Structure 1
């Protein structure tokens, strides 16, 4: 009787030609792969990518900085252009402007404050102004005679725009007034971006009548300061002290043809050539173009200083 119980273990199944015998990875291979993976994920060898949130957060600052640099560069170029235009006037204007700058530069130290006036007529009016209509608004102080207009008494000039007849010292005096070319457009444009204040050494009886003709609707001049608001320097000179008006000097500009008038704050002054009767005069157009740029400066004195340096250099 033959036993059916197998006495040998069954043979292992044969593998095909393309089959691979499965085998467990050796500990050395596992360690090597782990080190390679750690090196691949290491901060020292991995190229860091910027966080999208950080990139978005830093983008506005970079754009703002680039935009600010562009604005500053544009302002400098415009000021340089206006300074070049300022010296292209007639020889008489160039001599007058040059003389004004030389008088300003000749004094290495600022003049001492003038003593209090002993003239009751000069002390009659205070230069202090009410607060500006809006906080931070810049103030433009404008001279009247030889800056905005030219006037004279008899004999009448060959051409004039209007007359005023104030009573001075009990006697009526006729003044023939010539407006500087472009004065109406200049005043309208200036009033849009500045608080416009007339600061004149002229008598109120005369100057008020002229200003009424220049601003008949009362929409341009926020305030009017006459001779009584000037300070007497003690030697016959009348000085316009901007510090006494209650306006911040870093937001104030004075346009005047007389350097003596702004001797206390020359850094706030934009000098202009005196006007008499030149029909081709373009001084106010140049001043307005400069004021458009200066209005964008945090401190208007910085724009004025740069403008004066360019004019002096040219």
Structure 2
């Protein structure tokens, strides 16, 4: 496999060329829904069992209608020495930090799968650079997306130029629960009272709504200031001993 990366100097421009032969030509859904996350996942299908050539395992599936138990091995490594004492913030990708589409929205991410080439256009949310840099100072930040790694990983490479994300989790780390790819925070290996999830999709944090900071879905409004507006809130939250009380008040508002 060969990957070539090129970052243009135009504002908010992401450009990646990927060559990947791991997808089968036969598809039951569009390539868009298979690459990107579960923002419209209410009609999603369970992932098929991997063949011998597949690398990631499919997300665990609910058992008897209940969320699966935490695994013996957690999703995150041990806390880095520089992050001791910091809370862990799980940050979503699509419609939270960026918006991706097959329609031209100024930003180019060509994705090649097998013999097919798809032009994926990725637009950065306003103030995302300032937001990530500040969040990296305050928290142990983890990227957690329900998208496939072949799409999300190169986008994160270009988005996070400061090494803010201590870890990146993709679709195979989600739990497939009632038609949605859910981010089960109990599988991270962090104390839940010190974990916060920033996500535009309530279905993504349905197991732990008390840990969530909801964010409006973003598509192309270049006057949007939500990430910038959230920074003072997160600065205060980073100093709290327990996040639940603050987040409960947030939900009440």
Q: Same fold (TM over 0.5)?
A: yes
Q: Once the 2 structures are TM-superposed, how far is the Cα of residue 172 of structure 1 from its aligned partner?
A: 2.8
Matched, 1:156 2:104: yes
Task: State the Cα RMSD in Å.
Answer: 2.2
**TM-score, with length taken from structure 1:** 0.56
Which residue among 58, 65, 75 is the counterpart of 1:128?
75
Which residue among 274, 281, 292 is the counterpart of 2:217?
274
Matched, 1:255 2:191: no
Give the whole-Å Cα distance in 2 for the aligned partners of 1:199 and 1:222.
11
Matches within 5 A, 1:7-46: none
Give the whole-Å Cα distance in 1 for the aligned partners of 2:189 and 2:204.
18
Give the whole-Å Cα distance in 2 for the aligned partners of 1:181 and 1:252.
25
**TM-score, with length taken from structure 2:** 0.69
- 2:118 paired residue number: 173
Which residue among 137, 142, 149 is the counterpart of 2:86?
137
Evaluate the alpha carbon distance shift between residue 117 and residue 276 of structure 1 in structure 2; reply closer, same or farther with a 3 A threshold: closer
Q: Once the 2 structures are TM-superposed, how far is the Cα of residue 271 of structure 1 from its aligned partner?
A: 0.4
- 1:231 paired residue number: 175
Give the whole-Å Cα distance in 1 for the aligned partners of 2:246 and 2:129.
25
Q: Once the 2 structures are TM-superposed, how far is the Cα of residue 169 of structure 1 from its aligned partner?
A: 5.5
Matches within 5 A, 1:52-131: 119-120=49-50, 121-123=57-59, 128-131=75-78
Give the whole-Å Cα distance in 2 for the aligned partners of 1:122 and 1:168.
19
Matched, 1:195 2:140: yes
Q: Once the 2 structures are TM-superposed, how far is the Cα of residue 165 of structure 1 from its aligned partner?
A: 2.0
- 1:18-60: CA deviations, max 9, x gaps? xxxxxxxxxxxxxxxxxxxxxxxxxxxxxxxxxxxxxxxxxxx
- 2:244 paired residue number: 301
Instruction: Tell me the SS of whatever aligns to 2:90.
Output: strand
Q: Is the 8 A contact 1:150 1:276 kept in 2?
A: yes
Q: Once the 2 structures are TM-superposed, how far is the Cα of residue 216 of structure 1 from its aligned partner?
A: 3.1
Q: How many residues align?
A: 189
Which residue among 189, 213, 224 is the counterpart of 2:158?
213
- 2:26 paired residue number: none
Instruction: Tell me the SS of whatever aligns to 2:93.
Output: coil
Q: Which structure is higher in strand share? A: 2
Q: Is the 8 A contact 2:86 2:238 kept in 1?
A: no
Q: Which structure is higher in helix share? A: 1
Q: Is the 8 A contact 1:142 1:197 kept in 2?
A: yes
Instruction: Tell me the SS of whatever aligns to 2:235.
Output: helix
Instruction: Name the larger-Rg structure.
Output: 1
Q: Is the 8 A contact 2:59 2:171 kept in 1?
A: no
Q: Once the 2 structures are TM-superposed, how far is the Cα of residue 171 of structure 1 from its aligned partner?
A: 2.9
Matched, 1:185 2:130: yes
